[in-house]
Homo-oligomer: A and B are copies of this chain.
Amino acid sequence: MGLRERKKEKTRLAILDAALDLFLEQGYDSTTVDQIAGSVEISPRTFFRYFTSKDDLVLWFHDHGEEIMQETLRTRPADEPPFTSMIHAVRAVAHDMEDSTPEDTARFLKLRRLMDENPRLVGLSVARGAATEQRLAVEIAARSGVDVTTDQRTHLIVAFAMSTLRVGFDCPQPDVPDMRIIVDRMEKTLELAQNAFRPGWDV
């Protein structure tokens, strides 16, 4: 990894951290891109070369999450019931977070606080989740050998799994969160979800 790459990654994180702190300090809407750029000493124009939009700052972890889910799906046996595979994918995301660096953990917790205060941002996150859902549905449909554009069952399966992910993570949590607590909660949610369905409903 060359100097260039490392430097880029560094500024990227610097922007992210500065933005999160500013958002929590003075609110999301009252923080301008100029301020964020100023506080990491780059031009506003450059900001948009690292993040396609101000909103995009808030979605940085989604890509990683989706990647993990896609990877997990690929390792699951093709004849496994699709919802089971999806549950494994969701669990993989949670456990990946457990192993994340202290910095990433801090970022995630800040982001959670931010979302608590700005419902609009939760909406953004959900919307992005829906896009992921589409792509996962394609994957699951391919495994089952059905046509993703017509098979509602596949979409339902993926949607239910993503709902579980969302409820586990995003659902209002009164207690001050720590990563351990969040993962535990996710485990509980997964268990609830698994017990909800009729055995063999998704085969």
Question: Chain A binding site: helix, strand, loop or mixed by DSSP?
Answer: helix
Copies in the complex: 2
Chain B CB within 8 A of A26 CB = no
B156/A167 in contact, CB under 8 A: yes
CB distance from A119 to the nearest CB of B (A): 6
What residues on B are CB-neighbors of A92 within 8 Å? none
What residues on B are CB-neighbors of A155 within 8 Å? 167, 171
Q: Nearest B residue to A186 by beta-carbon distance?
A: B152
B150/A156 in contact, CB under 8 A: no
A196/B156 in contact, CB under 8 A: yes
CB distance from A135 to the nearest CB of B (A): 11
Chain B CB within 8 A of A174 CB = yes
What is the number of residues of chain A that contact chain B, defined by CB distance less than 8 Å? 43
B156/A192 in contact, CB under 8 A: yes
Chain B CB within 8 A of A76 CB = no
Q: Mark A43-81, 1 if CB is under 8 A from B, else 0.
A: 000000000000000000000000000000000000000
B163/A159 in contact, CB under 8 A: yes
What residues on B are CB-neighbors of A199 within 8 Å? 198
Alpha-carbon gap, A128 to B202, bound state (A): 28
What residues on B are CB-neighbors of A174 within 8 Å? 149-150
What residues on B are CB-neighbors of A134 within 8 Å? 119
CB distance from A68 to the nearest CB of B (A): 21
B197/A152 in contact, CB under 8 A: no
Chain B CB within 8 A of A93 CB = no
CB distance from A137 to the nearest CB of B (A): 9
Can you list 10 residue pairs at the A/B interface with Cβ under 8 Å?
A122-B127, A123-B127, A126-B127, A152-B185, A152-B192, A156-B164, A159-B167, A160-B196, A195-B201, A197-B201
What residues make up the interface of A, taking CB atoms closer than 8 Å to B?
119-120, 122-124, 126-131, 134, 148-150, 152-153, 155-156, 159-160, 162-164, 166-168, 171-174, 185, 188-189, 192-193, 195-199, 201-202
